[in-house]
Structures are given as C-alpha cells and as structure tokens.
Structure 1
Amino acid sequence: MVEDGVSEDDAEMQVVGVFFLGSILLAVIGGVLGIITCFQKDKKKVLGIIGLVLNVLTIFGVVILMAIGFIADA
C-alpha cells in the first residue's frame, strides 16, 4: 500500500531536518549574544532582551515541533 506524501527518507525531509537543527544552533548563538548584551554596562539592554526572548521562543518552538513529530511517529 502506497501512502501519499513524503517519508522521512526523502531528500526534502532531510533538508528540513538540517534547517531545524541549523535554526536551533543559530538561536543558541543569538541567545548567548543576547545574554552578553544584557550584561554590558554601556549598551542599550532593550535590544538584547528582545533578541534573547525571540531566540528562546525559536528554540521552544522547534522543540515543540520535534516533540509533536516524535509523538506522531509513536
């Protein structure tokens, strides 16, 4: 029986997986830079806080999507 759609072995899904992992890596780097900006004395902290919040939301969103994928696969 052939199912419609894509499987996890398709090249498109592998590219999507690489993009997800890359976005997590970039969000972690951005989060670290946001934390560094928050501790600098002579810089505006508003942009550091905004960047930190956005990067945490990105990481949280990707983790939620991965959890949904694991639950759907089980």
Structure 2
Amino acid sequence: MSLNIPYRIDHVGVIERVREFFKGHPSLLLGFNTYVPNGYEIMLNDEEKASSKKTTHNEEECYLV
C-alpha cells in the first residue's frame, strides 16, 4: 500500500506547527525538544516565557492547596 503524500515538511515546518499546536503551553513545547534533532531545539520567545512563569506560579499554588 502506497501513501500519496502531496508535500514534504522540513524540520522548521514541523517546529512551526508544533509551536502553534502547543501555544499557551510552554512546558509541552519545551518537552517536545525530546523528539527534535540537535540544533533544532525549540526556544521560548518572550511571550511564552511570561506564560511559563504564570503557569509555574499557578501550579505551585495548586500544590499548596
């Protein structure tokens, strides 16, 4: 059985799609680096870093309760 794939996607394209898919979830985005080849690691931008700090704070509050 052959698969007819209309196009191929490169590393950069995959990273762009993953970044959009995990938008608002910086820990998942960083966790995806496990599956990314060396040199293509996903780095958080300023907006994602700010979101990460808020998420960490809320997670800490949940553990205190």
State the TM-score bracket (shorter-chain normalisation). 0.3 to 0.5
User: TM-score of the superposition, structure 1-length normalised?
Assistant: 0.33
Query: Which has the higher Rg, Structure 1 or Structure 2?
Result: 1
TM-score normalised by structure 2 residue count:
0.37
